[in-house]
Chains A and B, each alone.
Chain A
Amino acid sequence: MDKILRIDMGAEGGPKMQVESLGEYAGLGGRAMTSSVVAKEVPPFCHPLGGENKLVIAPGLLSGTGAAMSGRLSVGCKSPLTGGIKEANSGGQPAQVLARLGYGAIILEGKPQGDDLYKVFINKDGVKIEADNSLKMMTNYDLVSKMKGEYGDKIACISIGPAGEMKMQSASIACTDPEQRPSRHAGRGGTGAVMGAKGVKVIVLDDTGCKARPPKDLQKFRAANKIFVEGLSRHPVTGQALPAYGTNVLTNILNEAGAYPTCNFKVGQFAGAGKISGETIAELETKRGAGPTHACHRGCVIRCSGIYNDKDGNFLSKQPEYETVWAHGGHCGIDDPDAIAMLDFLDDTYGLDTIETGVAIGVAMQAGVVSYGDAQAAINLVKEIGKGTPLGRILGSGAAVTGKVFGVEKVPVVKGQAMPAYDPRAVQGIGVTYATSPMGADHTAGYSIATNILKSGGFVDPLKPEGQVALSRNLQVATAAIDSTGMCLFIAFAILDQPDTFQSLLDLLNSFYGLELTADSVSDLGKKVLRIERDFNSRAGFTKEDDRLPRFFYTDPVLPHNVTFMVKDEELDSLFDW
């Protein structure tokens, strides 16, 4: 991982590539890499779809090594959805493969001169880029099966569907799983539109002939990995609950907590929650011959993913994540798991963020475009997005645009990005993260649900404003660091509760790189990343007024708790004073 591949898509006479040393980006990985490159090289006032924006794709510091859980990929750019800096994170195989091929980052830059659509192929012998207009408007699943035909079944793909080609603000970038399904996505913020604007349809990676990256101290590294894996399997969340039920185990718990946003954040409980819960779906998956335990990349030992078959036992989609089940489910009043799995598949194959898409449809339902609970209508709307009809283009522009077009007052977005599956009035800590994260409303940026609801890493009462800023701050700092290592964020449940598992993570980094990182240096890394991102946003024109929730969260109490969002503005503004 000692080189950067830069492709200037706007060069005279067609794309020009250059392989260069890491230079000033040495020692960075994942989110630290993408955010550093974007902050340094992208003019903050540029148009996200213009030639000055760059798409940065980076494996984490430990990706491509033998460390468990290390296969997360960071994708960064100026976001077409928020107008601020973006890091969207994805599982799947590409991070491991890209790292083993030796690349610390791929940077796509410039503005293509014509309409050609390109594919990039990278293996141990080098990089090839060629125009292939037969791929135009191909869905992700069709595209990957075509690429398998051309390059064999050892490949990993990073691709966009029709939504990315149409430069929709909710377009995602797909990554293939170990079985070459384009089912893991860098979902948030419209990164797919930036890839589309660069004219790149797919990056095909083949690491045949490449070895795992060698640690500085192999013995210590192996010992640390053993303790790390043991810690993950010992912890009840990472060892039992996530493999057995996946992330959707949260449906019932958020619903019981009265924090499950239902019918566009109208109330905090959904009568149909049980029908789409993790318990129900895991049972259904097993009954239909698939199951709830699957690793999104090789080396994941938690295996929170799963496979969802239709009633005839044929593959329908991967197991929809909790936020997807919520966005297409409770948020839209839909309680049909088969419809939700179909929506998940359509989002994946068109290349759409499931959260942004589901929330936009719920906002359209609030406007009366179709009715709450009408699953078939929701499926038809997503197909309209895939086709790019005028209505589809509105919805594909995300929840904020949809709300404006249809005259909806209550639109759950921050910095233009749709809120995920947790009501910030009933879980005040997540409201702080939504408001202040440089990413816009993003639950993963500082997952206070862990401590507010799940009692992981202590307990802070979700219904009171006290203690939420400190909680969100600590989590945002830790997350920015973890996102830079390439580790899946779900390791946090074990490392928050088990000091020896946290130490083993430090030991993995230290023995790999010959460093002497401590807990403090990890937190310094997280702070540095957040500072870089905040600074980019302020140069792009963001002020503290952008760190607020939409007004209705302050004025309209939500049942059953009858609470509003109560964290004061001054407190939100103090989040980054550390």
Chain B
Amino acid sequence: MKVTVKLFASLRKDRFAVDDFDYQEGVTVGHILASLNISEEEAAIIFINARHGGPDSPLKEGDLLAIFPPVGGG
């Protein structure tokens, strides 16, 4: 199934900004992080279709996954 993955800030270094991937049914955010060599600590903020998720969150066909390192501002 197809999932769009977006990476931001320092996570883009040596990786990508946005890409589509084909995953097996039942894939979780944690699996994807592992496949991209991103630690759970680095993936501080995770959105699935604009809602907060975590490493255990499951994904489905067509989902948009956005991953941020710890960031702040204001």
Q: Which residue of A has the minimal Cβ distance to B72? A: A237
Closest chain B CB from A26 CB (angstroms): 31
A493 to B69, CA, bound (A): 14
Any chain A CB within 8 A of the CB of B1?
Answer: no
Report yes or no: B72 in contact with A241, Cβ–Cβ below 8 A.
Answer: yes
Residues of A within 8 Å of B45, CB to CB, are: 253, 453-455
Which A-chain residue is minimally distant from B8 (CB atoms)?
A252
Q: Is the CB of B10 within 8 A of A241?
A: yes
Q: Closest CB of chain B to A192's CB: distance in Å? A: 22
Q: With an 8 A cutoff between CB atoms, is A504 at the interface? A: no
In the complex, how many angstroms separate the beta carbon of A459 from the nearest chain B beta carbon? Answer: 7
Evaluate contact between B47 and A443: CB separation under 8 angstroms: no
Determine whether the beta carbon of B70 is less than 8 Å from that of A279.
Answer: no
Answer whether residue A258 sits at the interface, using C-beta atoms and an 8 A cutoff.
Answer: yes
Which residues from 19 to 74 on chain B have a C-beta closer than 8 Å to any C-beta of chain A?
Answer: 44-45, 47, 49-52, 66, 68-74
For B2, list chain A residues within 8 Å (CB): none
Q: Is the beta-carbon distance between B71 and A256 smaller than 8 angstroms?
A: no
Shortest beta-carbon distance from B8 to chain A in Å: 5
By the criterion CB–CB under 8 Å, are A459 and B73 in contact? no
Determine the residue in chain B with the shortest Cβ distance to A323: B74
**A155 adjacent to chain B (CB < 8 Å):** no
Which chain B residues lie closer than 8 Å to A257 at the CB level?
47, 50
A235 to B70, CA, bound (A): 9
Among the listed A238, A256, A269, A560, which residue makes an inter-chain contact with B72, where contact means beta carbons less than 8 Å apart? A238
Are A248 and B73 closer than 8 Å at their CB atoms? yes
Known: A454-B45, A455-B45. A249 touches B50 (CB 8 A): no
Contacts of A245 in B (CB 8 A): 9, 71
CB-based contact A279/B8 at 8 Å: yes
Alpha-carbon gap, A176 to B68, bound state (A): 33
Partner of B73, one of A235, A249, A461: A249
**A284 is an interface residue with CB less than 8 A from chain B:** no
Inter-subunit contact A322/B47 (CB<8 Å): no
CB distance from B16 to the nearest CB of A (A): 12
Q: How far is the CA of A240 from the CA of B8 in the complex (A)?
A: 14
B-facing residues in A234-261 (Cβ within 8 Å) = 235-238, 240-242, 244-250, 252-253, 256-258
Report the tally of A-B residue pairs with Cβ distances under 8 A.
94
Q: Which residue of chain B has the shortest Cβ distance to A277 in the bound complex?
A: B8
Which of A256, A449, A461 has a CB less than 8 Å from the CB of B50? A256
Is A406 engaged at the interface, CB distance under 8 Å to the other chain? Answer: no
Q: Is the CB of A250 within 8 A of B73?
A: yes
Shortest Cβ distance from B49 into chain A, in angstroms?
Answer: 8
Given contacts A247-B74, A279-B9, A443-B74, contact A236 B50 (CB under 8 A): no
Q: Is A371 an interface residue (CB 8 A)?
A: no
Q: Do the beta carbons of A489 and B47 come within 8 Å of each other?
A: no
Residue of B nearest to A497 (CB): B70
Question: Is A454 a contact partner of B71 (Cβ separation < 8 A)?
Answer: yes
A interface: dominant SS: helix
Minimum distance in angstroms from A458 CB to a CB of chain B: 12
Q: Is B12 an interface residue (CB 8 A)?
A: yes
Q: Are B66 and A256 in contact (CB under 8 A)?
A: yes
- Please measure, in the bound complex, the distance between the C-alpha atom of A241 and the C-alpha atom of B70, giving whole angstroms: 7
A contacts with B, residue count (CB < 8 A): 45
A459 touches B74 (CB 8 A): no
Residue of A nearest to B50 (CB): A258
In the complex, chain B residues whose CB is within 8 Å of the CB of A490 = 72-74
Is A444 in contact with chain B by the CB < 8 A criterion? Answer: yes
Within the complex, the shortest CB–CB distance from A38 to chain B, in Å, comes to 24
CB of A351 to closest CB in B, whole Å: 22
Residues in A whose Cβ lies below 8 Å from that of B47? 256-257
Q: Is the pair A278, B66 in contact by a Cβ cutoff of 8 Å?
A: no
For the complex, what is the distance from the CA of A244 to the CA of B12, rounded to whole Å?
13
Contacting pair A256 B9 (CB below 8 A):
no
- CB distance B71 to A237 under 8 Å? yes
Nearest CB on B from A234, distance (A)? 12
The answer to whether B52 and A253 touch across the interface, beta carbons within 8 angstroms, is no
- A237-B70, A237-B71 known; A461 vs B52 contact (CB < 8 Å): yes
Is there contact, CB below 8 Å, between A449 and B74?
yes
Expressed in whole angstroms, the Cα–Cα distance for A258 and B52 within the complex equals 11
In whole angstroms, what is the CA distance A417 to B51 when docked? 29
Q: Does A544 contact B (CB under 8 A)?
A: no
Which residues of B are found within 8 Å of A447, using beta-carbon distances? 74
Residue of A253, A274, A461 touching B71 (CB-CB under 8 A): A253
Complex Cα gap A447–B49 (Å): 24
User: Which of A244, A459, A489 has a CB less than 8 Å from the CB of B9?
Assistant: A244
Q: With A236-B44, A279-B8 known to touch, is A322 a contact of B74 (CB < 8 Å)?
A: yes
State whether the Cβ of A549 lies closer than 8 Å to any Cβ in chain B.
Answer: no
Asked whether any CB of chain B lies closer than 8 Å to the CB of A216, the reply is no
List chain A residues, Cβ under 8 A from B6.
256
**Is A450 part of the binding interface, using a Cβ–Cβ cutoff of 8 Å?**
yes
Min CB–CB distance B55 → chain A (angstroms)? 13
25 contacts between A and B (CB under 8 A): A236-B44, A236-B69, A236-B70, A240-B10, A240-B69, A241-B69, A242-B72, A242-B73, A247-B73, A249-B72, A256-B47, A257-B47, A279-B9, A279-B17, A443-B74, A444-B74, A447-B74, A453-B45, A454-B72, A455-B44, A455-B52, A459-B52, A463-B51, A490-B72, A493-B72
Top 6 nearest A-B pairs (CB, nearest first) are A247-B73, A237-B72, A258-B50, A236-B70, A256-B66, A241-B71
